[in-house]
Amino acid sequence: MSRSTFADRLREAMNLRKIKSSQIERISEGLFKDGKIKKVIKMPIITDYLKGRYEAAQSNIYALSLILDVNEVWLMGEDVPMDRSFGRTKVAEIDIINASTNEVIQKIPFSYRTDIAEEDPKNFFAVYAADNSMAPLLDIGDIAIIKKYQKFVNNKTYLLKIKNGNPIIRKVIKSDNGNIELQALNMWNFPTQTDLHFEDIEILGEVVKVENKSAFK
């Protein structure tokens, strides 16, 4: 399959948005006055673009992508989604839950990259730390961002339950013989738990980020 040209993509976007060259010029005038683009895109240059006479400068690529609400890289002919949000950081909300009851307590903002499937907000939730077992990384009342459990990776920190007990956060270490150790950072008050097997624990998700407020209390 041959690569689409800038002219092809510009024509496709204009047809999709039902925007004519004269409208692009008029819209660009408004954006120029507002300081959002560097110059007005005149009708003759749009005609030249559509006929493949010229490739647009980067500043005009940005302006056209803004006017047509498409991704700049897509407009240049590359094989990426047309969606303008692709590759950018967006903010959504994820749930803070009571891990014992799965009750939603509140929601918090979550930043993610739209082009990275694993960062989809539906893959994440959050919990409040119930103790200081992972202090100073995670103290009582701090928020742990949890990625829903998909595949175990040794030496990662997880939200888990032991034999249907209360949820806890621990680093999980699996030895060659299959035994499991659960390590807290605050080992003085929370000794390492040993002689466990994988079937003794239920992993709820991986701790991937901490919203640490305890340092500012």
Q: pLDDT tens digits for 80-137?
A: 889 888 888 888 999 999 988 999 999 999 988 888 888 999 999 999 999 999 998 8
How far is the C-alpha of 176 from the C-alpha of 180, rounded, in Å?
Answer: 10
Mean pLDDT, the chain, rounded, equals 91
Which value, to the nearest 10 degrees, does the dihedral of the CA atoms of residues 45, 50, 55, 58 take? 70
**Structural domains in the chain?**
6-75 (1.10.260.40), 89-216 (2.10.109.10)
How many CB atoms within 10 Å of residue 132? 18
Q: Identify whether the C-beta of residue 136 lies closer than 8 Å to the C-beta of residue 127.
A: no
Provide, rounded to the nearest whole percent, the portion of the chain with pLDDT above 70. 96
Beta strands per DSSP E along the chain: 89-98, 103-113, 124-128, 143-148, 156-162, 168-174, 179-183, 193-197, 201-211
How many CB atoms within 10 Å of residue 199? 9
Q: Identify whether the C-beta of residue 184 lies closer than 8 Å to the C-beta of residue 129.
A: no
Helix H or strand E encompassing 75 = helix 72-75
Q: Identify whether the C-beta of residue 172 lies closer than 8 Å to the C-beta of residue 203.
A: yes
pLDDT digits (tens, 9 = 90+) for 64-73: 999 999 999 8
Q: Is residue 3 pLDDT above 80, yes or no? A: no
Helix, strand, coil percentages, rounded to 5, for the chain:
30, 30, 40
CA torsion sign for 20, 25, 30, 36 is: positive
